[in-house]
Amino acid sequence: MSRFYGILALAGLVLVLHGCKKKVEPERQVVTAEKVGVENVKIYGEYVGKIRAKTFVEVRARVEGYLEEMLFEEGKRVKKNQPLFRINSDQYKARVDKAQAQLKKDEAQEAKSQRDVERLKPLYEQNAASQLDLDNAIAAYESAKANVAMSKADLAQAELELSYTELRSPIDGYISERHVDIGTLVGPGSKSLLATIVESDEVLVDFSLTALDYLKSQQRNVTLGEKDANRSWQPYVTITLADNSVYAQKGIVDFAEPQVDPQTGTFGVRAELPNPERKLLPGQFTKVKLLLDVRENAVVVPSKAIITEKGGSYIYVVRTDSTAEKRFIELGPEVDNKVVVERGLGPYETIVTEGYHKLTPGALVNPTYVTPKKEEE
Q: Which long-range contacts (CB under 8 A, 24 or more apart) does 209-214 make?
A: 209/45, 209/47, 209/256, 209/266, 209/267, 209/268, 209/269, 209/290, 210/45, 210/265, 210/266, 211/260, 211/265, 211/266, 211/267, 213/45, 213/292, 214/260, 214/267
Q: In what order do the strands lie in the sheet with 83-87?
A: 166-168, 83-87, 65-70, 185-186
User: Residue 28 has what pLDDT?
Assistant: 85
Cα–Cα distance between 236 and 222 in angstroms, integer?
A: 12
Beta-ladder partners of 31: 367
Contact in structure between 328 and 292 (CB atoms under 8 Å): no
DSSP 296-355: EEEEEEEGGG-EEETTEEEEEEE-TTSBEEEEEEEEEEEETTEEEEEES--TT-EEEEE-
Cα–Cα distance between 56 and 298 in angstroms, integer?
A: 44
User: Residue 50 has what pLDDT?
Assistant: 94
HSE at residue 272, side-chain half, CA atoms within 13 A, is 10
Domain 45-54+199-294 has CATH 2.40.30.170: yes
Q: Which parts of the chain have pLDDT scores under 50?
A: 1, 8, 16, 21, 376-377
Q: Taking the chain, what is the end-to-end CA distance rounded to the nearest angstrom? A: 87
Contact in structure between 283 and 323 (CB atoms under 8 Å): no
Q: For residue 261, give the DSSP letter.
A: B
* Domain at 29-41+297-369: CATH architecture: Beta Barrel (2.40)
Return the H-helix or E-strand segment holding 21: helix 2-21
User: Residue 323 has what pLDDT?
Assistant: 92
Instruction: Report which residue type is found at 128.
Output: A
In the chain, domain spans: 29-41+297-369, 45-54+199-294, 62-86+167-191, 89-164
Angle at CA 143, nearest 5°, toward 137 and 145?
Answer: 105
At a CB cut-off of 8 Å and minimum separation 6, what does 92 contact? Answer: 63, 65, 158, 161, 162, 164, 165
Return the H-helix or E-strand segment holding 211: helix 211-219
Return the H-helix or E-strand segment holding 272: strand 266-274
User: Residue 11 has what pLDDT?
Assistant: 52
Cα–Cα distance between 171 and 80 in angstroms, integer?
A: 4
CA dihedral 278, 282, 284, 287 (to 10 degrees): 70
Q: What is the β-pairing status of strands 365-369 and 29-35? A: parallel
Domain 62-86+167-191 has CATH 2.40.50.100: yes
- Reported as a single tens digit per residue, the pLDDT across 110-151 is 999 999 999 999 988 888 888 998 899 999 999 999 999 999
User: Residue 97 has what pLDDT?
Assistant: 97
- Reported as a single tens digit per residue, the pLDDT across 86-115 is 999 999 999 999 999 999 999 999 999 999
User: Residue 377 has what pLDDT?
Assistant: 47
Q: Phi then psi for 268, rounded to 5 degrees?
A: -80, 140
Contact in structure between 162 and 96 (CB atoms under 8 Å): yes
User: Residue 24 has what pLDDT?
Assistant: 58
Cα–Cα distance between 73 and 178 in angstroms, integer?
A: 10
Q: Which CATH superfamily is domain 89-164 in?
A: Helix hairpin bin (1.10.287.470)
| Closest by CA position to 170, among listed 243, 84, 264 | 84
- Interhelix angle 90-125/131-163, rounded to 10 degrees, is 160
User: Residue 217 has what pLDDT?
Assistant: 66
